[in-house]
Structure 1
């Protein structure tokens, strides 16, 4: 009898426990239970900004973004709000979120077309695309370049060019110019690679066209030396003697001591692509 009473008590206890769980879960789902208090509710704009800066310094990017967004939302008309709008794209940039960084950059430009720090925003837009294209070119050894188009490199170049054109006296302009030079070289290398890719497969017309494109678009890039040599050989393979000789004249005039013409047959075997 006692055992039976104990079993019934256990059953009632389980039922009550289940009922409590269901009730609490249901209330929570319906939002009837009090939410966890937000300790930042009473913070000033300065406090939110300083906390965001501290988060950024510590690498806590999600927390930094949340505090900056709270700052912008609670104090939309103050100086700190503009500062938050300028900091948010940088935090996304540090976080590696290119899409959000670019979106917040464009938003800032639309909201503040005459901001005193607009040159920084243009520079940041270039950096976001620049880092993306650097990752692309670092991966070239693992992936055939002809499978991808270096769109980010062109967008980074255009962003830096906009900065240099609009703010020639900006403190960011010298670095932007250096990065533009690097981008020109890498884009020329891309076109050269594609031209060589076509040449290896016997597509000599496509090879000549791509080499010629690199020569016209990036005339000062180091890759132009080899691009001219590819152009010369592509015309030679197609039997276009006049065009071949013209390409050769340009090549020898600009690069009289080129390794491509002065190397021995043994030396050419390890650097030539055909």
Structure 2
């Protein structure tokens, strides 16, 4: 039976679409390192429409079968890459992995989403998933704080790019917590150096706290430790300035009382020096 030109064109377009789709599947699987023939054939034979697969995945998610839902969304993403339903699936993959506590997988999916769809409204949520996934992996203060720093970075980016997002309030809370954690790590290392009389190394750590984490609970002790370290080195001007800054900002602090007592033993008192880096950091103090 002869076909009309329109019918032949439609058939050709359909075949071309399938060729492109199968080629995309093969390339994606090769890149993923799992391009076994059976895998390609299985995906190529899956002619379930994207919308149907997406609704199946949503139904699994609604039923509480999180693991199966994630697999179905992932399958849709592989079978129909770069489609609208693949985009919707990807943010679901990130969320479901996060819900299952598979934080590296959640971060990977969310990072991919922000890279592919930077202007999409769900990018704010993807950034939140990244930050929250890192936040949930924060170890105690005595261990490496790489996850803490990455959580802080993601939450700051979220607030900067999407200040009116519904996730902004919680992101700010996470920022305060991560900053406190990072400051605590600096304090721990600083005390370690101070106890071994490595005063220059301890000063660098305490300086980081008062410069970068002024709103944390560690800043009072950091100012006292700066007083202590500078005094031990004989750098009187900086010791007096650190104590003055501490007294101005936290006059009722026990750390200030300790700083005052320390200086008094040497016949000194808290006094802000004009050439101190501390007066630049706390430039609003008007102590000079």
Taking structure 2 as the reference length, the TM-score comes to: 0.67
Q: Which residue of 2 aligns with 1:125?
A: 130
CA contact (8 A) 1:153 1:183 kept: yes
Q: How far 1:92 sits from its partner (Å)? A: 2.1
Q: Does 1:115 align with 2:123?
A: no
Summarize the alignment of residues 34-45 of structure 1 with structure 2, pairs less than 5 Å apart. Answer: 44-45=52-53
| Aligned equivalents of 1:77, 1:129: Cα separation in 2 | 27
Return 5+ residue gaps in structure 2 as ranges: 1-36, 38-45, 259-288
Partner of 2:187: 192
The reply to whether residue 53 of structure 1 matches residue 61 of structure 2 is yes
Matches within 5 A, 1:57-68: 57-58=64-65, 60-61=66-67, 63-68=68-73
Q: What is the deviation of 1:171?
A: 0.8
- 1:109 Cα offset (Å): 1.7
Whether 1:243 aligns to 2:238 is: yes
Rounded to whole Å, the distance in 1 between the matches of 2:244 and 2:189 is 23
Find 1:256's aligned residue among 243, 251, 258. Answer: 251
Q: 1:126 to 1:196 in 2, by over 3 A?
A: same
Distance in 1 of aligned mates of 2:184 and 2:78: 46
Residue 69 of structure 1 corresponds to 74
| Residue in structure 2 matching 1:167, options 162, 168, 180 | 162
State whether residues 45 and 75 of structure 1, in contact with CA within 8 Å, keep that contact through their aligned partners in structure 2: no
Which residue, out of 78, 84, 87, partners 1:82?
A: 87
Residues 71-95 of structure 1 show CA distances to partners (whole Å, capped at 9, x for unaligned) of: 2234446543222111111222233
Gaps of 5+ in 1: 1-30, 32-39, 264-274
Q: Is the 8 A contact 2:243 2:256 kept in 1?
A: no
| TM-aligned CA distance change 1:160 to 1:261, over 3 Å | closer
Larger radius of gyration: 1
- Aligned partner of residue 163 in structure 2, secondary structure: coil
1:41 Cα shift? 7.9
**Match in the other structure for 1:226:** 221
State the alpha-carbon separation in 1 of the partners of residues 69 and 234 from structure 2.
Answer: 64
Please give the secondary structure, in 2, of the residue aligned with 1:110: helix
Distance 1:47 1:167 in 2: 29
Instruction: Name 1:214's counterpart in structure 2.
Output: 209
1:180 CA drift (Å): 0.9
Q: Report if the CA contact (8 A) 1:51-1:67 is conserved.
A: no
CA distance in 2, matches of 1:125, 1:206: 33
Alignment of 1:99 with 2:104, yes or no, is: yes
Aligned residues: 214
